[in-house]
């Protein structure tokens, strides 16, 4: 297992995920401003990883600063939390983690604040393993109970985007559930969507499956319906950037189409995420803020030139697209999947499913 974040003696290094899989490059994070830029530019991504980097950068700042007064300390903490939250607003984990740091700041104890900031990162792996185990066991039981697989049989499963060690502090969420199925000897093959326009599936999920020698298959985003309708996969699992109390879930763009196809062909669709992904202030997903990404991301692609074996960025669309008001780009980072399309929400505390033919899932029962 590897991690997207290295933290040692208050030095922070992150894998530059924009360079993967062609280059393994680490970026030094030496300030809160560095952390903000890395999050905003998507050098690091994945809701749990964003939260970890943000709070570690606060711990680093406090460790390296001598404060003449408590007021100065608290002002620095609050300013840092306000600033870091603006980097990417859709992922609720970021806001929850920063609120935990604010709460620790009420002690006016510098070390207590630092300890809480580090705890967000250090607890992530064990949390991921618990939710992954919950999800794998629930899915096996569900498929066997409904006769979708033979008892002891193997499962082929589809996922979207990247939710592995690159998106967390280690092991992963939905990716972790797939890893757990593999560890249990119950995985036939993992299928993963390319996840354009940043190709998090093609670049990052592929990279992780190769590292772990997990049998896998890349799926073009436009082929998801074809794959599910063919009966090749028996389930879909995804992560989450924000979950409302009724189960509505914001996740990487393309998640909702996978849920629609899973629902149409009666296969389980699970959301696997930490409790921190649940927004306790949202009754449903209608008011989840959806980040609009720059047009440039949709009209360019970065990779290795096959003939020259050198990295290059290539524009795919005419130069007017995204640069001319007449020719715009719709590039949301996320979509919101309604709870009625979700079979189960899996957290580290358990599994919630819809009850009594309700279209909602009572996620609050797991908090």
* pLDDT at res. 292: 93
Res. 1: pLDDT tops 80: no
- Per the CB < 8 A criterion, the answer to whether 61 and 76 are in contact is yes
- Per the CB < 8 A criterion, the answer to whether 20 and 302 are in contact is no
Q: What number of other Cβ atoms are within 10 A of residue 159's Cβ?
A: 32
Examine residue 21 and say whether the peptide bond preceding it is cis (omega within 30 degrees of 0).
yes
Do the bridges between strand 155-159 and strand 187-193 make them parallel or antiparallel, or are there none, so unpaired?
A: parallel
- Per the CB < 8 A criterion, the answer to whether 237 and 178 are in contact is yes
Average pLDDT over residues 309-317: 91
Average pLDDT over residues 356-365: 93
Domains of the chain as residue ranges with CATH: 5-122 (1.20.120.420), 134-288+333-366 (3.40.50.10470)
- Per the CB < 8 A criterion, the answer to whether 209 and 327 are in contact is no
Res. 9: pLDDT tops 90: yes
Mean of all residue pLDDT scores within the chain: 96
Candidates 296, 294, 327, 300; CA nearest to 312 is 300
Q: What are the tens digits of pLDDT across the range 36-63?
A: 999 999 999 999 999 999 999 999 999 9
Place of tokens 């996320």: 334
Cβ neighbours for 105, distance < 8 A, ≥ 6 positions apart: 73, 74, 77, 78, 113
**Chain-centre distance of CA 13, in angstroms?**
19
Residue 222 phi, psi (nearest 5): -75, -5
- Per the CB < 8 A criterion, the answer to whether 218 and 303 are in contact is no
What angle do the packed helices 92-105 and 70-85 form, to 10 degrees?
A: 170
- Classify the C-alpha dihedral 105-111-112-114 as positive or negative: positive
Average pLDDT over residues 250-272: 98
Local confidence band at 143 (pLDDT 50, 70, 90 cut-offs)? very high
Q: Which residues are catalytic?
A: 241
**Chain-centre distance of CA 43, in angstroms?**
13
Local confidence band at 164 (pLDDT 50, 70, 90 cut-offs)? very high
Q: Could you give the CA distance from residue 145 to residue 139 in angstroms, rounded to a whole number?
A: 10
Q: Which two tokens stand for residue 14?
A: 């992150």
Q: Could you give the CA distance from residue 151 to residue 84 in angstroms, rounded to a whole number?
A: 48
**Chain-centre distance of CA 93, in angstroms?**
10
End-to-end CA distance of the chain: 28
Local confidence band at 306 (pLDDT 50, 70, 90 cut-offs)? confident
Do the bridges between strand 235-238 and strand 155-159 make them parallel or antiparallel, or are there none, so unpaired?
A: parallel
Q: Could you give the CA distance from residue 23 to residue 207 in angstroms, rounded to a whole number?
A: 11
What angle do the packed helices 70-85 and 32-40 form, to 10 degrees?
A: 10
Local confidence band at 309 (pLDDT 50, 70, 90 cut-offs)? confident
DSSP bridge pairs for 228? none
Q: Could you give the CA distance from residue 133 to residue 231 in angstroms, rounded to a whole number?
A: 25
* pLDDT at res. 311: 87
**Chain-centre distance of CA 8, in angstroms?**
24
Average pLDDT over residues 336-362: 95
Local confidence band at 3 (pLDDT 50, 70, 90 cut-offs)? confident
* Helix, strand, or coil (residue 336): strand
* Helix, strand, or coil (residue 178): helix
């Amino acid at each position: 297992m590897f991690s997207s974040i290295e933290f040692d003696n208050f030095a922070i290094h992150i894998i530059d995920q924009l360079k993967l899989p062609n280059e393994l490059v680490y970026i030094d994070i030496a300030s809160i401003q560095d952390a903000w830029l890395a999050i905003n530019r998507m050098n690091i991504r994945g809701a749990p990883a964003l939260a970890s980097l943000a709070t570690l950068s606060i711990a680093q700042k406090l460790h390296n600063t001598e404060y003449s007064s408590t007021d100065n300390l608290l002002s620095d903490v609050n300013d840092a939390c306000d600033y870091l939250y603006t980097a990417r607003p859709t992922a609720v984990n970021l806001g929850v983690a920063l609120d935990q740091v604010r709460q620790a700041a009420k002690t006016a104890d510098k070390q207590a604040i630092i300890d809480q900031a580090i705890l967000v990162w250090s607890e992530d792996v064990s949390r991921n393993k618990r939710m992954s185990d919950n999800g794998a066991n629930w899915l096996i039981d569900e498929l066997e109970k409904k006769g979708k697989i033979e008892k002891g049989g193997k499962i082929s499963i589809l996922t979207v985007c990247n939710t592995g060690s690159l998106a967390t502090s280690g092991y992963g969420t939905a990716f972790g559930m797939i890893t757990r199925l593999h560890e249990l000897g119950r995985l036939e093959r993992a299928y993963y969507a390319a996840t354009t326009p940043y190709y998090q599936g093609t670049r990052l999920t592929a990279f992780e499956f190769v590292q772990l020698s997990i049998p896998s298959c890349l799926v073009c985003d436009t082929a998801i319906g074809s794959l599910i309708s063919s009966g090749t996969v028996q389930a879909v699992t995804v992560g989450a950037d924000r979950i409302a109390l009724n189960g509505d879930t914001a996740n990487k763009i393309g998640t909702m189409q996978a849920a629609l196809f899973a629902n149409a062909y009666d296969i389980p669709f699970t959301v696997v995420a930490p409790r921190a992904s649940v927004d306790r202030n949202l009754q449903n997903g209608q008011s989840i803020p959806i980040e609009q990404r720059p047009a440039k991301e949709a009209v360019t692609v970065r990779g290795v030139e096959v003939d020259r074996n050198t990295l290059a960025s290539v524009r795919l669309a005419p130069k007017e697209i995204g640069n001319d008001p007449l020719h715009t780009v719709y590039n949301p980072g996320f979509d919101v999947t309604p709870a009625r399309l979700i079979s189960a929400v899996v957290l580290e505390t358990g599994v919630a499913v819809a009850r009594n033919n309700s279209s909602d899932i009572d996620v609050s029962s797991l908090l």
